[in-house]
């Protein structure tokens, strides 16, 4: 998410529609400073912790080292860079009320802001595309999967860097009267119309319809597969041992797909909730210099976008059991060592036991009903024979 300012100067008179935190317009009372520091500092801390756990889990546990999870790893790295390179300085700017880190670092910070937040959004987009291809093209999906993932990740970070560091350091994003050149205590993007359109399209308005299309198609395919399997179970009255194993594998696969679709759907909903208000504001204000919005609201929408990087690992923890198990091991296990490219526990094989029990355990909520219906059919078949 971008910390920029949209300002117009007419005959020396300034018409401000800024998206940065102007110290002159904020009430710099101690209550506001303390509350902002505590709340925003907590968001930064949990963003760092959650995304660090995702990185360690994917790199440390072989069970999580899948094609899709390496895309999640790229997303976690993007969110981690937001927490390391963007949020802390935004917090200082919020609390202190002015920029104190100099002209060069201001441009570096703005570039990191645009790059890291764009990378986070584009990673969500390619994750949805990867899941769409996995479901709609299952026979060809695994062909050159590693190369495809590498190409997608390179594209994400290359595109994010292209629309951030190059135009910002070259000055293409702003008009010639950028206030950062004249005010050492100001740091914000005074975007022109061209950069506002290009950056918002790249960072949000193009990925959004792609994600909506892919998730809608994934949901439709998942519902069709579920209905097909349920219909087959109703018409099969007797299974031999090999058929029972086939049905169990189909149900386990369907349950996993339903969980993945549910998790990705939640990620999509959170993404829209966090980013849509900000990008509406970002695109409208450059073309509406008379539009007024309180600095407090601008700050809230800015940090709402940042909060997307904080919420993504929470979604994994609550809705992805493998990640939840690995998080518990990382946080609670004491005798963990790294060996052979993966984490292992001394004096135990807890990870393998947990994953074995995970594979054999019953699934909860909506997924459990499908599994139980299949088990009932298998039991009925066994009793009739």
- CA–CA separation, 383 and 338 (whole Å): 49
Which of the four pLDDT bands, split at 50, 70 and 90, describes residue 257?
low
Residues 332, 112: Cα–Cα separation, whole Å: 34
d(CA 183, CA 235): 76
Q: How far apart are CA 252 and CA 262, in angstroms?
A: 15
In the Cβ-directed half-sphere of 223, how many Cα atoms lie within 13 Å?
A: 6
With a CB cutoff of 8 Å and minimum separation 6, the contacts of 63 are 322, 326, 351, 355
Better-predicted residue by pLDDT, 209 or 255? 209
Mean pLDDT score of the chain: 76
- List, for residues 258-283, the tens digit of each pLDDT value: 666 777 778 788 989 999 999 999 88
SS (H, E, C) the chain: CCCEEEEEEECCEEEEEECCCCCCCCCCCHHHHHHHHHHHHHHHHHHHHHHHHHHHHHHHCHHHCCHHHHHHHHHHHHHHHHHHHHHHHHHHHHHHCCCCCCHHHHHHHHHHHHHHHHHHHHHHHHHHHHHHHHHHCCCCCCCCHHHHHHHHHHHHHHHHHHCCHHHHHHCCCECCCCHHHCCCCCCCEEECHHHHHHHHHHHHHCHHHHHHHHHHHHHHHHHHHHHHHHHHHHHCCCCCHHHHHHHHHHHHHHHHHHHHHHHHHHHHHHHHHHHHHHHHHHHHHHHCCCCCCCHHHHHHHHHHHHHHHHHHHHHHHHHCHHHHHHHHHHHHCCCEEEECCEEEECCCCHHHHHHHHHHHCCCCHHHHHHHHHHHHHHHHHHHHC
Q: What is the pLDDT at residue 79? A: 94
86, 112 contact by CB (below 8 A):
yes
* CA 155 and chain centroid, separation: 17
Res 215: pLDDT: 86
CA distance 230 to 292: 55
Which residues lie below 8 Å from residue 330, measured CB to CB, with a gap of 6+? 53, 56, 57, 60, 336, 343
How far is the C-alpha of 247 from the C-alpha of 370, rounded, in Å? 11
d(C-alpha 87, C-alpha 91), whole Å: 6
Confidence of residue 10 (pLDDT cuts 50, 70, 90): very low
What integer pLDDT is reported at residue 183 of this predicted model?
73
Q: How long is the chain? A: 385
Contact 163, 202 (CB under 8 A): yes
Lowest mean pLDDT among 3-7, 91-95, 202-206, 331-335: 3-7
260 vs 39, residue with greater confidence = 39
Percentage above 90 pLDDT, the chain? 30
Name the band, by pLDDT with cuts 50, 70 and 90, for residue 374.
Answer: very low
Split at pLDDT 50, 70, 90, the class of 243 is low
Give the span between the Cα atoms of 313 and 323, in whole angstroms. 9
Whether residue 248 is predicted with pLDDT greater than 80 in this model: the reply is no
Q: Which range of residues forms the domain containing residue 179?
A: 4-384
Closest CA to 4 of 184, 173, 226: 173
Q: What tens digit of pLDDT does each residue of 293-310 get?
A: 887 888 889 999 999 999
- What does the pLDDT read at residue 354? 45
Q: What is the pLDDT of residue 8?
A: 37
Q: pLDDT (tens digit, 9 = 90+) per residue, 147-172? A: 889 999 999 999 999 999 999 888 88
Q: Return the CATH number at 326.
A: 1.20.1070.10
The percentage of residues in the chain with a pLDDT greater than 70, rounded to a whole number, is: 68
Tell me the C-alpha distance between 318 and 297, whole Å: 30
* 351-382 burial code (b ≥16 CB/10 A, e <16): beebbeeeeeeebeeebeebbeebeebbeebe
Overall domain count for the chain: 1
CB-based contacts of 115, cutoff 8 Å, min separation 6: 160, 161, 163, 164, 165
Rg (CA), the chain: 25
């Amino acid at each position: 998410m971008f910390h920029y300012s949209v300002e117009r100067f007419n005959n020396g008179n300034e018409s401000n529609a800024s998206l940065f935190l102007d110290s002159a317009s904020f009430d710099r009372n101690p209550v506001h400073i303390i509350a902002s520091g505590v709340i925003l500092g907590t968001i930064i801390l949990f963003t760092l912790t959650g995304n660090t756990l995702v990185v360690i889990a994917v790199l440390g546990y072989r069970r999580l080292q899948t094609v899709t999870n390496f895309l999640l790893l790229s997303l976690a790295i993007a969110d981690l860079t937001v927490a390391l390179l963007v949020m802390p300085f935004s917090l200082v700017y919020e609390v202190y009320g002015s920029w104190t880190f100099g002209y060069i670092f201001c441009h570096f910070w703005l570039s990191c802001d645009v790059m890291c937040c764009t990378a986070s959004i584009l990673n969500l987009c390619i994750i949805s595309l990867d899941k769409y291809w996995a479901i709609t093209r299952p026979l060809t999906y695994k062909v050159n999967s590693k190369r495809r993932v590498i190409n997608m990740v390179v594209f994400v970070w290359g595109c994010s860097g292209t629309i951030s560091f190059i135009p910002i350091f070259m000055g293409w994003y702003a008009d010639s009267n950028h206030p950062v050149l004249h005010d050492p205590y100001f740091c914000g993007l005074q975007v022109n119309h061209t950069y506002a359109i290009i950056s918002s399209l790249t960072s949000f308005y193009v990925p959004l319809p792609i994600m909506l299309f892919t998730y809608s198609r994934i949901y439709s395919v998942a519902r069709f597969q579920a209905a097909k399997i349920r219909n087959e179970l109703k018409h099969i009255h007797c299974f031999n041992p090999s058929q029972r194993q086939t049905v169990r594998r189909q149900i386990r696969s369907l349950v996993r797909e339903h969980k993945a679709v549910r998790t990705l759907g939640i990620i999509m909903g959170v993404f829209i909730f966090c980013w849509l208000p900000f990008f509406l504001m970002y695109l409208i204000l450059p073309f509406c210099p008379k539009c007024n919005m309180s600095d407090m609201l601008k700050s809230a929408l800015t940090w709402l976008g940042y909060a997307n990087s904080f919420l993504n690992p929470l979604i994994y923890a609550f809705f992805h059991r493998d990640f939840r198990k690995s998080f518990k091991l990382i946080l609670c296990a004491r005798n963990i060592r790294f060996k052979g490219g993966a984490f292992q526990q001394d004096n135990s094989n807890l990870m393998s036991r947990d994953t074995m029990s995970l594979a054999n355990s019953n699934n909860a909520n909506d997924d459990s009903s499908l599994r139980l219906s299949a088990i009932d059919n298998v039991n009925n078949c066994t009793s009739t024979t």
